[in-house]
Amino acid sequence: MIDGKSRRIAMMSGGVLCIGLGSGLFRHAGFGADPFTTMNLGISELLGLSFGTWQLIMNLLLFVPVLIWGRRTIGPGTAANMILIGYISDAVLFMVNGWVPQSGLAVRLILMVCAMLMASFGVACYIIPSLGVAPYDALQLMMEKYSHGRISYRSARIGCDAFCIMAGILAMILAGGDVASLIGIGTICNVLMMGPVIQFFKDRLSAAAGSSALAAAGN
C-alpha cells in the first residue's frame, strides 16, 4: 500500500512532468509561448544559449530571493522543477516536431488549450504536496503571504506573467530575432487564464487531498 509520503512524491513528480509536457506542446502549437517561457526564450536567443540551459540559470538566479524570504517553499520539487522542466519541454518539442506534421488551425487551437490545462494542472499538482515549488511560482506565493492576502495568488501570477512577456519581447528585439515567434493569442490567453485555472485546480486538489487524509485517518 502506498503511504502518504510516496503519494506526495508521485503527485509532485507527475506535476513536473505535466508542466514540461504542457510547455513543449504549447510551443509546438505556435500561438506564442507562456510568459515565463517567453522571457527565457527571448533571453536565451539574446545570449545564444539553449532554452533548457538558460531556464536552469534563470531559476538559479530567482532561487536567491526565495532562499532568503521563502525558504519554506524549497524542497525536492524545487530542484525537480528547476532542472527538469526546461529540458522536458525541449525534448517534447523535438519529438512532436519530428512525429507530428504541421497541423491545421483547429488542431493547433485544441492543442494550445490542452497544453494550458495540462501545465496549469501540473503547477497545482506540485504545489499541493508542499515538497517545494519552482522559484518563479514561489514568488507569487511569497507575494500572497507577505501582503497578508491582499494580493491573491491569481493577481500575483498575472502581474509576474505580464512582466515576463515584456522582458521576453525586449530581449528578442535586442537579439534581432522574430518577436512573432514569442507572442500570440496563446500568450494572451496564458496571462489572463493561467492564474485562475491554476487556482481552480489548486482549490479542488486541496479539497480532494484533505478528504483523502480524513478517510485514511478513519481507517
CB atoms < 10 A from the CB of 154, how many?
A: 18
Per-chain mean pLDDT for the chain = 84
Closest CA relative to residue 113, chosen from 38, 31, 168, 181: 31
At 145-197, the pLDDT tens digits run 889 888 887 788 889 988 998 999 999 999 998 887 788 888 888 878 877 88
Q: Are 36 and 166 in contact (CB under 8 A)?
A: no
Query: According to the model, what pLDDT value does residue 21 have?
Result: 92
R_g over Cα of the chain:
17
Distance, in Å, from the CA atom of 115 to the CA atom of 19, rounded to the nearest integer, reads 9
Q: Are 24 and 96 in contact (CB under 8 A)?
A: yes
Q: Is pLDDT at 215 greater than 50 in this prediction?
A: no
Mean pLDDT of 115-141: 87
Query: According to the model, what pLDDT value does residue 61 have?
Result: 92
Closest CA relative to residue 156, chosen from 146, 169, 166: 146
Query: According to the model, what pLDDT value does residue 216 have?
Result: 43
Q: Is pLDDT at 212 greater than 50 in this prediction?
A: yes
DSSP string, 19-61: HHHHHHHHHHHTS---HHHHHHHHHHHHHT--HHHHHHHHHHH
Going by pLDDT thresholds of 50, 70 and 90, the confidence category of residue 214 is very low
Q: Are 185 and 32 in contact (CB under 8 A)?
A: yes
User: Can you say whether residue 147 is alpha, beta or left, with left for phi > 0 and alpha for psi between -120 and 50 degrees?
Assistant: alpha
Tell me how long the chain is: 219
Q: Are 162 and 38 in contact (CB under 8 A)?
A: no
Q: Is pLDDT at 211 greater than 60 in this prediction?
A: no
Q: Is pLDDT at 3 greater than 80 in this prediction?
A: no
Model-level pTM?
0.75
Query: According to the model, what pLDDT value does residue 219 have?
Result: 39
Query: According to the model, what pLDDT value does residue 206 have?
Result: 83
Helices (H), the chain: 4-29, 35-47, 51-69, 76-99, 105-127, 135-146, 153-175, 185-218
Distance, in Å, from the CA atom of 40 to the CA atom of 182, rounded to the nearest integer, reads 10
Q: Is pLDDT at 217 greater than 80 in this prediction?
A: no
Q: Is pLDDT at 201 greater than 80 in this prediction?
A: yes
In the chain, pLDDT over 90 holds for what percent of residues?
Answer: 22
In the chain, pLDDT over 70 holds for what percent of residues?
Answer: 92
CB atoms < 10 A from the CB of 56, how many?
A: 18
